[in-house]
Amino acid sequence: MSRTRPPAARTSARPSLPYRLRRALLACCAGLALVLGALAASPVPAQAAGSRPCDIYAAAGTPCVAAHSTVRALYSGYGGSLYQVTRASDGATRDIGVLTTGGYADAAAQDAFCAATSCAITKIYDQSPRHNDLTVEGAGTQGLADHGAPASALPVTVGGHRAYGVLVTPGTGYRHTDAAGVAVNGQAESMYMVASGTHVNGGCCFDYGNAEHTVDDTGNGHMDAVYIGDRCHDAPCTGSGPWVAADLENGLYQGSGNNPANLGNSSPFVTALLKNDGQTTFALKGGNSQSGALSTWWHGALPSGGYTPMQQEGSIVLGTGGDNSNRAVGSFFEGVMTSGFATDAADNAVQADIVAAGYTGDPAGNQGTTITGPGSKCVDVAGDDVGVDHAAVQLWDCQSYAVDQHWVHNPDNSLETLGRCLDIAGNGTADGTKVQLWDCNGVGGQVWVQQSDGSLLNPQSGRCLDSPSGATANGTRLQIWDCNGANAQKFHLN
């Protein structure tokens, strides 16, 4: 979707790798029937051959044409790379693969490569034979060029293994133009993503799916992407969301018009699913990715007004609208797109596999602690969870959902949020030097030691984190100043 962007959730003025599909050959033996009978009577194990989402869809006649995840393999036979990270300190890159074929991400490889600096996710590999890899999206008619997500900002546990999701904040987005095998001109397709129901806003548009050839709005029916967020396009909507909807361009549709029957999905992890026959009919489903089945929110007519038939253009987008409308927030863990309108039985089996994967953790990226300062305001990053280099660090009303108000106190006494560290501009030492976010690099200007009087001391400069003149207004830019015990220098790690 595109057009006018709504305010962000915080109402302020703040600023190809080869694919390998290995299928084990089962030797025939006299007891084969007994073995198969025993397997049929037992629960399907999480690592069972053929049980991954793309195995399931292929067996149902709707094979994956795109499969993206930073946390696990989406084919039981996939043993390649999941994503690529780029290191801030020297621009070097590293592909992050799976621990075992068909298994989970090798997060330790990322941790080692990105130690003492920060990394961004700059490519998400397509596990399907189509090689539709996602790279950071360029400028569009509704947004400047995007940046990659901080690689360490969204730690979760999947299948008992540490992994990292894709934390989408305003200005984050990925794209593959003219993807091979993806539906065009009214062809049928299906897609799902595992996202979060707790890290959302009303900005346009946290999408995964089919988008335009150009980064532009080319008209109704030229997109076909699954969305989750709390934007209500056709009122009335039930509750406050977030809702799973279809971004069909110039409309986030919960049905062919408004659909009060869509009750929303607010669980920490959400399976959001869209199917479209490209001619007359689409379906929307949502469910808790940690337990239970999918709910069908709509299975009926496509909207009128240019959507019958659809006119998809066959690119893939993640985190933004088709024209790079990039004011949304969201958390992405895995998603696939298929050729054809998938069966309900396949959807149900995919949901069962997602639940079996065992997602746990905070899918909003709110690891760490808040830091309260003067006026009981929180230490916050300007720009509503953007978190780029040079982003100002300031005071703001404390908000439990704000990722950029949660700081990790690292063993080297740095304070980190959104994959970057609290830093003194220019590694300065003079009174009044402003603080900012910068790539974690171990310099003296990123060391903060809590003192007994409640101040945060930077040993290199001998000065303390300070609010100028003790100001408490939202947006007050923080600095360093001679340590003096004043309330302007009381900052408490909660």
Q: Tokens 């700059």 map to which residue?
A: 122
Q: Count Cβ atoms below 10 Å from residue 216 Cβ, excluding itself.
A: 16
Domains 44-357 and 371-493 share a fold: no
- pLDDT tens per residue across span 226-269: 999 999 999 999 999 999 999 999 999 999 999 999 999 999 99
pTM reported for the whole predicted model: 0.80
The confidence score (pLDDT) of residue 400 equals 75
- pLDDT tens per residue across span 302-350: 999 999 999 999 999 999 999 999 999 999 999 999 999 999 999 999 9
Measured CA to CA in angstroms, residue 147 lies from 67, 181, 210, 216, 231 at distances of: 21, 27, 20, 18, 23
Q: pLDDT category, 368, cuts 50, 70, 90?
A: confident
Compute the average pLDDT of residues 394-421.
88
Compute the average pLDDT of residues 2-7.
39
Which residue in the list 106, 189, 247, 323 is annotated as catalytic? 323
Closest C-alpha among 220, 207, 167, 192 to residue 325 = 207
Q: 3-state DSSP: the chain helix, strand, coil percent, rounded to 5?
A: 10, 30, 55
Least confident of 50-59, 316-325, 360-369: 360-369
CA angle 394, 400, 405 (to 5 degrees): 30
**To the nearest whole number, what is the mean pLDDT of the chain?**
89
178 contact partners, CB below 8 Å, separation of at least 6: 213, 313, 314, 315
- pLDDT tens per residue across span 127-177: 999 999 999 999 999 999 999 999 998 999 999 999 999 999 889 999 999
Catalytic, 249? Answer yes
Q: Alpha-carbon distance 377 to 398, whole Å?
A: 6
- pLDDT tens per residue across span 377-388: 999 999 766 677
Residue 192, phi then psi, degrees to nearest 5: -145, 160
Measured CA to CA in angstroms, residue 484 lies from 276, 425, 432, 454 at distances of: 64, 21, 14, 11
pLDDT at 125 over 90: yes
Closest C-alpha among 477, 362, 454, 452 to residue 408 = 362
CATH 2.60.120.200 assigned to domain 44-357? The reply is: yes
- pLDDT tens per residue across span 257-300: 999 999 999 999 999 999 999 999 999 999 999 999 999 999 99
The DSSP code for 24 is P
Q: Alpha-carbon distance 171 to 153, whole Å?
A: 15
Supply the CATH classification number for the domain 371-493.
2.80.10.50
The confidence score (pLDDT) of residue 115 equals 86
The confidence score (pLDDT) of residue 122 equals 98
The confidence score (pLDDT) of residue 292 equals 98
Residue 489, phi then psi, degrees to nearest 5: -115, 15
In the three-class reduction of DSSP (H, G, I as helix; E, B as strand; rest coil), residue 338 is classed as: strand
The confidence score (pLDDT) of residue 367 equals 72
The confidence score (pLDDT) of residue 18 equals 38
Which residue in the list 249, 353, 439, 466 is annotated as catalytic? 249
Domain boundaries, the chain: 44-357, 371-493
Q: What one-letter code names the amino acid at 10?
A: R
